[in-house]
Amino acid sequence: MIASPMEHPFHLSASQLRRSYTIGSRTVDVLKGIDLDILHGESVFLVGASGAGKTTLLYTLAGLEKPEAGSVVFEGEALYARGDNAECRRRNQRIGFVFQGYFLLPELTALENVLLPAMIGSTHGPQAQERAENILERVGLADRMQHLPAELSGGEQQRVAIARSLINDPTLLFADEPTGNLDSRTGATIIELLLTLIRENRRTLVVVTHDASLAQRGDRRLEIRDGQIVA
């Protein structure tokens, strides 16, 4: 019998992950045999110097960059084992993403941007519309739904991006430097919002940040140094 996702001991596991890049005639080893286990409902913050490999690790864990060696298991199933279309569906339905650059479509309103993953997943309809409106209200943008990104502040745009990441009710959320374009006060507010939303629904959160003080707010803080987890 195959265990259900929630019966699996870990939400996300990585074993001996290795990844390198070629720059000119030089090969740079970025991930050097990383092992990692993340529990259901846990918030894990990855910190490290620029170039340490934290974003590469996040993208590899999220199914966006295939490792050269090693494996990633998500909810008891191996990532990268299916075809590209199946992996895309899994990311759309089970995994949410928040990026430093927001990546909102400028011609769409806040509400329309939030609805995009539901439309891609062919689940757009009255229920998706209602869910999008509810999430935008939850992140404090009830009166900004019909505004374009250019009419929103950086903090408001990141709130839209958070709402978009949650529209398909993912079990796992990745955030890559979600406060990198924000001032310290707004960034702290965004992290608190993320943690509140995740903990209310017992979702799993993995965050890459350069801010060690923000990383203290999670359940676990891991440092990546020279392609290895050292703390």
Which segments of 108-221 does DSSP mark as H helices, in order? 110-120, 126-138, 154-166, 184-200, 212-215
Task: Name residue 108's amino acid.
Answer: L
Do 223 and 34 touch, CB atoms closer than 8 A? no
Enumerate residues 6+ apart whose C-beta is below 8 A from 154.
Answer: 102, 181, 182, 186
For the chain, 231 residues long, give each residue's pLDDT as a single digit of tens: 344 445 567 899 999 999 999 888 899 899 999 999 999 999 999 999 888 899 999 999 999 999 999 999 999 999 998 888 889 999 999 999 999 999 999 999 999 999 999 998 766 678 999 999 999 999 999 999 999 999 999 999 999 999 999 999 999 999 999 999 999 899 999 999 999 999 998 999 999 998 888 899 999 999 999 899 987
To the question of pTM greater than 0.75 for the whole model, the response is yes
Q: What 3-state DSSP class applies to 196?
A: helix
Q: What 3-state DSSP class applies to 75?
A: coil
Q: Give the fold, CATH level 3, of 5-229.
A: Rossmann fold (3.40.50)
